[in-house]
Amino acid sequence: MKDTDAAFRRAPVLERVIQVGGFVVRRLVQALIALFGVITLVFFLQRLTGDPVLLLVPQGATQADTDVMRTALGFDRPLYIQYFGFLADLVRFDLGRSYVQNLPVVDIISSRVPYTLELAAGALVVAIGLGVPIGILIAVRRDRFEARWLIGLVLIGQSMPTFWTSVLLIMFFGVWLRWLPPSGVNGFQSLIMPSLALGFLSMATFARVTRTSVLDELSKDYVRTGLAKGLSMSRLIAHHLMRNAAVPIVTISALEIANLLTGAIIIETVFAWPGLGQLTIQAISARDFSIVQGVVIIGAAAAILLNLIADLLYSIIDPRIRLPGRDA
């Protein structure tokens, strides 16, 4: 009797696990298809729009060199064999060789990854550190003039091109005031401006999401009860409201990290920051196609993974959220 009771109580949990498990599997398959789509696109864009050997050989190579290269790299084989070879290499994390630098692409890319991650982390600190408090203030003081100024700031953040923010920061703090190094990597100081420039755009997103989420919570009964029993607004927000309002903010973080990583491509070029973005732009002008291809595949994989994480967080953190695809 006792056992059936326990089973009874466990049933909804079990169903939830099955439900979530099914959703995770479906989303994983979808993510794999997306990754497969990118890889296929990269392969065929390169093969069908011209001679791929010309993209890979260094500029100024002779016809004989090119022909040797074609046979050596297997570009004289039928297209479908090349395609499966390409996929097989990728499964083994082999992204090919850079024929300009004469190094494996994986090594070149992995030496640059830490810099991009460092920049994205700095930007995320800026974005959350500014965006969440601004969002809370806008929601709480919604009819006061402070809120209007902050909404203006958010709109500006959303409309400032990151490369223009960067140039302005360099002009003010690097050239005129000489407070910060205008470019390069030289300790913590050189991380400040790129992080600000990159984080400012995300700040707007965090502020918007926080505002909506806090506004939703403010209308609930427990807020009225808390205020009625004499809690101060700041204490109420810190101890009760933010726990509920944080769910959408956490999930949007995963998506924003993906945006920051791709946004870094522009910022790195402006600040001569030696991450993946700078590597890619340099590789394009050096006609080093294997690096470009490697960065695009890895970048797309990272973005797809972060998308997946955002979706999973969204459905797992908050049990009230109905899982999509159940009745579709």
Which single residue is written with the structure tokens 């920061």? 169
- As measured in angstroms, the least distance from the Cβ of 292 to other proteins is 4
Residues 6+ apart with CB under 8 A from 317: 247, 250, 251
Please, what is the end-to-end C-alpha distance for the chain in angstroms? 38
Asked if 269 is part of the footprint of other proteins (rule: CB under 8 A), the reply reads: yes
Among residues 101 and 307, whose Cβ is nearest to other proteins? Answer: 307
Q: Which of 64, 314, 88 is nearest to 213 (CA)?
A: 314
Among residues 171 and 250, whose Cβ is nearest to other proteins? Answer: 171
Asked if 42 is part of the footprint of other proteins (rule: CB under 8 A), the reply reads: yes
Between CA 169 and CA 22 the distance in angstroms is 48
Whether 238 and 137 have beta carbons less than 8 Å apart is answered as no
Interface mask (CB under 8 A) for other proteins, residues 240-259, using x and -?
Answer: ------------------xx
Among 81, 125, 238, 284, binds other proteins (CB under 8 A): 284
Q: Which stretch binds other proteins (CB under 8 A): 29-37, 109-117, 241-249, 313-321?
A: 29-37
Among 159, 221, 320, 327, binds other proteins (CB under 8 A): 159
Among 20, 296, 313, 316, binds other proteins (CB under 8 A): 296
Among residues 181 and 226, whose Cβ is nearest to other proteins? Answer: 181
**75-79: long-range pairs with CB below 8 Å, 24+:** 79/47
Among residues 129 and 161, whose Cβ is nearest to other proteins? Answer: 161
Asked if 161 is part of the footprint of other proteins (rule: CB under 8 A), the reply reads: yes
- As measured in angstroms, the least distance from the Cβ of 34 to other proteins is 4
Q: 104 is written with which tokens?
A: 């494996």
Which letter, b or e, does each residue of 32-53 get, where b requires 16 or more Cβ atoms within 10 Å of its Cβ?
eebbeebbeebbeebbeeeebb
E strands, the chain, are: 97-98, 103-104
Among 289, 309, 314, 315, binds other proteins (CB under 8 A): 289
Whether 195 and 119 have beta carbons less than 8 Å apart is answered as yes
Between CA 15 and CA 171 the distance in angstroms is 59
Among residues 35 and 69, whose Cβ is nearest to other proteins? Answer: 35
Among residues 237 and 268, whose Cβ is nearest to other proteins? Answer: 268
Q: 218 is written with which tokens?
A: 């403010």
Among 38, 61, 73, 192, binds other proteins (CB under 8 A): 38
Between CA 294 and CA 103 the distance in angstroms is 13
Among 61, 73, 121, 266, binds other proteins (CB under 8 A): 266
Please give the residue ranges that form the binding site for other proteins (CB under 8 A). 30-31, 33-34, 37-38, 41-42, 45-46, 49-50, 55, 155-156, 158-164, 167-168, 170-171, 174-175, 182, 258-259, 261-263, 265-266, 269-270, 280-281, 284-285, 289, 292-293, 295-296, 299-300, 303-304, 307
